[in-house]
Each structure stands twice: as structure tokens, then as C-alpha cells.
Structure 1
Amino acid sequence: MNQTAKTSRKSGMDYFLFGFSLIKQKGLRSFVFIPLMVNLLLFSGVIYFAIGQLENAFGWISAQLPDYLSWLNFILWPLAVITLLVVLSFIFSSVMNWIAAPFNGLLAEKVEQHLTGKDLNTGTTVDLVKDLPRIFGREWIKLKYYLPRAIICLILFWVPLLGQTAAPVIWFLFSAWMMAIQYCDYPFDNHKVAFTDMKFALNQTKGTSFTFGASVTLFSMIPIVNFIVMPVAICGATAMWVDKYREAYKHPEIAPE
């Protein structure tokens, strides 16, 4: 393993921040560029459409407001745009994880090669295409894991007192855990490590997993910055895989069940 991978990184946040350095490395930038451009183009298209709908909505609202309340537009418009950006960022991030799943796995593979100096020998482009059903199947497994737990967490917001106190904290912790699962899964999946085994490994390093996921969650809430969160998180998660899990799962057939 080269010196880059040997660098001491104690917390999950350290690994996430290390991802910002990795996306700039020669040999990795091209693998970051493709999903980043797909992300940017699709998100820009959605924002353009949504802003158009907002303009229509505010045109109708302005027509209904009396003249002495027209100043409300100057307050409501920026609030609506900011809310739209934050909400769409969360929704779009989930959709992009599906669209970019093959690219994300490839990026994780190249980052691991960069950190270890060893070829993963995962096959040709044809092999990648043949592997697409399994890749999207893995995303479906993660979605099935996420949805029922997310619904339970959201229901807590409707419980009196609990919804205003503990529920936001629980939601944030759950989101952090899911971000760790989402992005750490790419290097694990490249080595055909089962989803349950991946969860077991992350559970053994809860502190690192949660601080990594919390960092991803916080940066995902920042409009514009969230464009690059996905490749940064994949790079950081792969560095964490190399440092903490790779040796134990070099041979998935003998890894813990």
C-alpha cells in the first residue's frame, strides 16, 4: 500500500474530507467527470423546470394579492427557491445513486487501485454491462432496507412532543447511517461482499461509520456543494475500505457471515 493510503485518518469525517483530495488526483479525475456531468446536467434541467413552475405559481399568487401586500413576493420568492433547492437536492441525490451506480462502482475501483497500486481485475467493459442487473439489484436491496426504516422515522415526527424533540435527532442519525451504507457499499460490492456482511463490518466500526455518514449528510444539505458530494463520498468511503476492511474481505468466501 502506498503512502497515500497509509495516512492516519482516525474519524469518518477525516475519510470524507480526504475524498476532496482524491477527486483531484491524476488518473481519477476522468472517472469523477462523467457522473459529475450527468449529475449536473440532469439537476440543472430539473431546477430549470421547477423554477418555471414556481414563476407560474407566484404569478398567480401576485394576481390574487392586494397591492398593499405585494411586498410579500420579495420575502416568499427567495424562501421558496431555497426550500426547492434543499428538497430537490435530497430527492435528486437518491435518484442519481441509481443512475450513476455503474459509474460509482467504477470510480471506487479506480480509487482502490490508486491507493493500493494493485489492479482489481474486475473485467472488461462488456463484463461491466453484463453485471448491470446485479449492480441495480444491489441498489434495490439498499432501497428495501431504507424505505421501511425511513417511514418509521417519519412517523415519529407526528408523535406529540417526540416529534419536536427526539425525532429530528433520530432522523439525522438514521440519515448518517444510510449515507455510510450507501457509499461504503460500492467498494464492498466490487469485491462481491454480501450486503449483510457489509452492514456487519460497518457495525464493528460504528464511530467511524456514523461520523463519515454525518459528514456526507451535512454536506448534502448545502446547495451547489452537493453536486460533488457523491464522488467525494465514494472516494472517502473507498479509502476507509482500504484502511479498515480490505484485509478481512480480500477473500469474501471466508469473510464472516
Structure 2
Amino acid sequence: MNPKTTQATTKSGVNYFLDGFSLIKTKGLRSFVFIPLMINLLVFASVIYFAIGQLDNAFTWLSNQLPDYLSWLNFMLWPLAVITLVVLLSFLFSSVMNWIAAPFNGLLAEKVEQHLTGKDLNTGTSLDLVKDLPRILGREWIKLKYYLPRAIICLILFWVPFVGQTFAPIIWFMFSAWMMAIQYCDYPFDNHKVSFPDMKFALNQTKGTSFSFGAAVTLFSMIPIVNFIVMPVAICGATAMWVDKYREAYKHPEIAPD
């Protein structure tokens, strides 16, 4: 059975993502936004500090290898290397941090849904959350197994003549958008114990909304510094989309799709 939509059926995924910026400032939700955000910032800052130290050692070695008349290359390459490092780590952390912050992301999605619906999800105590960690991390592993082979195929396309220069970037962006929709919409679905295949099926029924939401997340994730807050914003926006478009179908397990 196809999941039913409840309201706001004409609202785009971009609108839901932008709604997330308002939701993260909502009283009562800010503390749940703060935890994953601080974990993100602290780990990212620690790795950046370590990486720049290693970069400094590399440039010291390079300086010793270059003749004096090429020493000016250091001043040109250093800023470029730092910017490249920050951008690459930003992309890496968008994946790694989803693992580290997964329990808090699910909790944020739960609180956002309570705020939007006025109803308690009754997901248990903090101890229940700890007991549920293996299942939560297992869900992240399912998403990773879904992502990796498809990502490898997309990356191989970049090496195919003509295709790599024309269609591969478009395919990669569309794939990234789809994965962002899966990644963040999965938290409210998982809070209701909706299986991963059923969650994908539901998103497929609203492809336009799903892809536009994922595209907005992907674009904002490409902006250094801004991407620090993309994770909580996307979770809030995805939860608002769940409440409007999917929640009613899964309120009772017997009416969810097989």
C-alpha cells in the first residue's frame, strides 16, 4: 500500500529544509540541537588542528627540498592546501558525524515531532536509548552498505571518456541528493521502527519532494562553516516532512506498506 500524505502536499523539499532553520531556534528544541552540534564542532576542530600540524610538517619538508628561487611557492600553496583540507574534511565529517551523533539525531527528530504534533512518542528513558544503541548503529551500517557500492559506481563514471566530463557530475549530484534525503529522513522513520526498505519505498512515492530536499541539503553541505549546522537543520526539516507526508500512514503498523 502506498503511504498516504496528510497535508501540505504541494510543499517542496526545499521549503522543508528551510523550515529546519526556524525549528532549530525553537524554545525547547535548542538543547537537543546543541548536543550533536557541539560533538560535530569539537571533533572537527580536533581533527583540523591535527591535520594542519601534519600539513605544517609537510611544508617544512617541502621547503627543505625546494631551491631558494622557488621558495615563494610555499606562500601560494599553503592557503590553497588549507582551504582544500577544510573542504575535504567537511565532506568526510558529514558522513562520519552521522555515526557519532546518530543517537542524538534520533532524539532530536523525536523532540521535533513532539513539538509539531503535540504528542509524546513514548520512546522510553535514557537507559532505553543506551540499550537501543546497537540497533541504531546497525541502521547506520545498513545505510552505509546501501551507499558505498552505488557511490563507487558513480565515481567510476568520472573515468569514462565523455561521460565523466558531461553526465557524471550530474549523476553524482543526483545520487548525493537522494542519499541526503535517505540519511536525514531515516531518523523520524526509524523512531517509529519503519524498516529501511519501507522508508525508501515511501520516499520513492514522493520523489520530487525527496530529491529537492536532498538537493538543498547537498548544496548547503558544500559551504564550509555553514555545513556545521546542516545536520540539525536537515533533521528538523526531514521530521517536519515526515509529520506532513508520511506519519499518518505509519501511525498504525497495519496500514504501512508491505
Give TM-score, length-normalised by structure 2.
Answer: 0.95
**Separation (CA, whole Å) in 1 of partners of 2:22 and 2:78:** 37
Residue 81 of structure 1: aligned partner: 82
**Separation (CA, whole Å) in 1 of partners of 2:11 and 2:161:** 39
List per-residue Cα deviations over 1:146-189 (Å, max 9, x = no partner).
Answer: 01101101111111111111111111110000000000000000
Residue 48 of structure 1: aligned partner: 49
> Residue 92 of structure 1 aligns to which amino acid in structure 2?
F
Contact kept? 1:9, 1:15, Cα under 8 Å: no
Contact kept? 2:158, 2:164, Cα under 8 Å: yes
Residue 127 of structure 1: aligned partner: 128
Pair 1:114-2:110 in alignment: no
**Percent identity among equivalent residues?**
87
SS at match of 1:120: coil
**Separation (CA, whole Å) in 2 of partners of 1:120 and 1:201:** 21
Structure 2 unmatched runs, 5+: 1-5
Residue 26 of structure 1: aligned partner: 27
> Residue 186 of structure 1 aligns to which amino acid in structure 2?
Y
Contact kept? 1:183, 1:234, Cα under 8 Å: yes
Aligned length: 253
Map residues 1-257 of structure 1 onto 2, 5 A cutoff: 10-257=11-258
**Separation (CA, whole Å) in 2 of partners of 1:236 and 1:192:** 19
Contact kept? 2:7, 2:245, Cα under 8 Å: no
**Separation (CA, whole Å) in 2 of partners of 1:133 and 1:254:** 28
SS at match of 2:120: coil
Residue 3 of structure 2: aligned partner: none
> Residue 97 of structure 1 aligns to which amino acid in structure 2?
N
The Cα shift of 1:254 comes to: 2.9
Range that drifts further, 246-255 or 149-158 = 246-255
Contact kept? 1:13, 1:212, Cα under 8 Å: yes
> Residue 145 of structure 2 aligns to which amino acid in structure 1?
K
SS at match of 2:88: helix
The Cα shift of 1:75 comes to: 1.9
1 or 2 for the larger relative contact order (CA 8 Å, sep ≥6)? 2
**Separation (CA, whole Å) in 1 of partners of 2:252 and 2:49:** 47
Runs (4+) of structure 1 moved beyond 3 Å? 5-9
**Separation (CA, whole Å) in 2 of partners of 1:31 and 1:158:** 43
**Separation (CA, whole Å) in 2 of partners of 1:144 and 1:43:** 24
**Separation (CA, whole Å) in 2 of partners of 1:239 and 1:6:** 11
**Separation (CA, whole Å) in 2 of partners of 1:213 and 1:72:** 40
